[in-house]
Each structure stands twice: as C-alpha cells, then as structure tokens.
Structure 1
Amino acid sequence: MTTFARPGYLRGALDAGASGFVVKDAPAEQLADAVRRVHAGLRVVDPALAEASVFEGANPLSEREQQVLRLAADGRSAAAIASEVFLSAGTVRNNLSAAIGKVGAANRAQAVRIAQDKGWI
C-alpha cells in the first residue's frame, strides 16, 4: 500500500519484487481483496496506475541524470553537485541539460518537479 499514486513508483516497486501495488485510499473492500490476492500468490496493481504507467512509459532518465536531479532539487549549484559526485561541473551541466530535455522542461527546477511528480527521482 502506498500514498504515492505515481507510475514511476509503481515501476520501482515491481522492479524491486513487489507482488502488489495499491493506493491506500482505495475502498476498504478493494484493499482487503488485494491483500487476499497477494497472499494467494497473485499480483495486484491499481488499475489507474497501471494505465498511467503504460501511457507515460518508462523513466527516460539515466541513473546519473536521476542522481544530479536529486541533488539539484535543493538548489545546489552545478559546482556543488560536481564536488559531491566526483565529476566536473561541465559534466554535471551536461547531465542536467540532458535531463531537462528528456522530461520536456524549461529549466532544472521544472525538470526536478516533473521527475518527482512522475516518481522518477
């Protein structure tokens, strides 16, 4: 059960071996049924999240792009991020630029918000 009804979180949970993924504000009958089904060895996925996951697709960000976006989320400069991950500031800027393009954002702050909203970081 999760509070985070985001396709990226669904993919992460399933990749990590989860047998089910349901939003905790679902009706009690659905939650109980999900628990019973998982206990019986079946997989359960919230239908709305499954649909959103299909239409939004997989996370387009590389692991490095995810890492620099996570670090940029609190307003760190490219130089500060570079120092933390042992890269040059130019390489960090290139990764941020690639991430911005992949998520269709106008700037790094918007890229962070989009990636967080989709559960990619």
Structure 2
Amino acid sequence: MIKVLVAEDMHIVRGALVALLRLEPDIDVVAEVASGPEILPMARARQAQVAVIDIDLPGMDGLTAAGELHEQLPECRTLILTSLGRPGTLRRALDAKVGGFLLKDAPPDKLASAVRGVLAGRRMVDGDLALAAWDTVDCPLTARELDVLRMVAQGYGTVEVAARLYLSAGTVRNYLTTVVAKLNARNRVDAIRIAEESGWL
C-alpha cells in the first residue's frame, strides 16, 4: 500500500481528494492536514511515502513545504496540486524538487496515476503546462526583489518591509522602483499583477 498524506486547507476539497484516493486498492491515506507547517511532522510521524500538497496553504505555502520535505524527509515524494496552471509556478515547483505538478481540474484518474508515478521516481507534469513553461521567460527579478515585492503584495508598507528584511526604507523604495522598471509595469500594483500572473510570486 502507498501511504499518502493530503494537505489541503479547504475541507470539502480535502474530503473529495481523500475519498478519491481511498477508492484505489493500492493507496492508503494515512494523514490529512490543513496547513503548511503540519506537513513535515505529520509525514514523518505517519511515514508517508507521497505527500499530495495544495500549492496555497496557510502558514507555509505548498512549494516551501515541498522543499522542506525534500531536504528533511527525502523518502517522501511530493505532488503539488494547483488551480492556476501558470508556467512560472511550474518552474518554481521544479526548483523545489517536487515529483509532480497537477492541475485541480485534471481528470480524477490522473491523481492516482500521478501518486504512483512520483512514488516510482518519475516526474509527473501536465503536458500542456510543461510545453508552456518551456517557452516562458525566466523571472528577471533577483531573490531579494521578489522578497520585497511578495511582502508588498501581502499588504506590508515600506517601513514594515524594511524592518522585516533588515533594510532601510530607502533601500526598499529603491528595490520597488527597480522592480517596476524591470517588469515594465505602470506602478507597484501593476508589478504585483505581472509577477503573480507569471507565477513568480
């Protein structure tokens, strides 16, 4: 039996995923969690072999949690689920060493196939999304510029961003000016939109 952990914060969606996986004769859902920080300790405690993780989770996003699993519990493979099939997001997922990347609107039988595939060590990625990712432009922003933009997108003001990242407010403003210029955006809000639509945030 394949021991699977399901991480999804929406109760109805999580219940549907668990019910779907339990229909498979070779899959046993050994844990269900609703937030990112719960994934690693629960996967370790229940000896999960595959973690099916929603990309958007409270406390810690799915890609960060997948990266943590890869580093600290490499025997547990990861399959990321998302409702947004943006090529930039796929690239981030591959950088996090996930085993698979599946859209939530994929046919139900693909979920069990993807679980089996990632356990076998194969990369399971939606074909159309993989082709789209092949043609996308790499993110022009540095890691620090992305950190600043991500915090602004979360609603933090310049002074708060500066305090949290140990920068001066002037340096944060300079980063934001550079971000707007690099993305050919009209302003900060437009820069956030461009970065989110590209899957860089």
User: Equivalent of 1:94, from 159, 170, 174?
Assistant: 174
Alpha-carbon contact 1:24-1:31 (below 8 Å) kept: no
Question: After alignment, is 35-44 or 15-24 more displaced?
Answer: 35-44
Deviation at 1:96, TM superposition (A): 0.7
- For 2:116, the aligned partner's letter is R
- For 2:111, the aligned partner's letter is L
Residues 1:48 and 1:103: Cα distance change in structure 2 (over 3 Å)? farther
Q: Greater strand percent: which structure?
A: 2
Q: What residue in structure 1 maps to residue 74 of structure 2? A: none
When the two structures are aligned, how many residues end up with a matched partner? 121
CA distance in 1, matches of 2:164, 2:117: 44
Provide the aligned C-alpha RMSD in A. 2.0
Q: What residue in structure 2 maps to residue 48 of structure 1? A: 128
TM-score by length of 1: 0.83
CA distance in 1, matches of 2:200, 2:98: 17
Residues 1:51 and 1:83: Cα distance change in structure 2 (over 3 Å)? same
Gaps of 5+ in 2: 1-79
Match of 1:56, SS?
coil
Q: What residue in structure 1 maps to residue 184 of structure 2? A: 104
User: Equivalent of 1:68, from 148, 172, 189?
Assistant: 148
User: Equivalent of 1:2, from 60, 63, 81?
Assistant: 81
- For 2:108, the aligned partner's letter is A
CA distance in 2, matches of 1:46, 1:118: 17
- For 1:2, the aligned partner's letter is L
Q: What residue in structure 2 maps to residue 25 of structure 1? A: 105
TM-score by length of 2: 0.53
Q: Deviations over 1:53-78 (max 9, x none)?
A: 22222222111111111121244443
CA distance in 1, matches of 2:117, 2:156: 45
Gaps of 5+ in 1: none
Question: After alignment, is 61-70 or 110-119 more displaced?
Answer: 110-119
% identical aligned pairs:
49
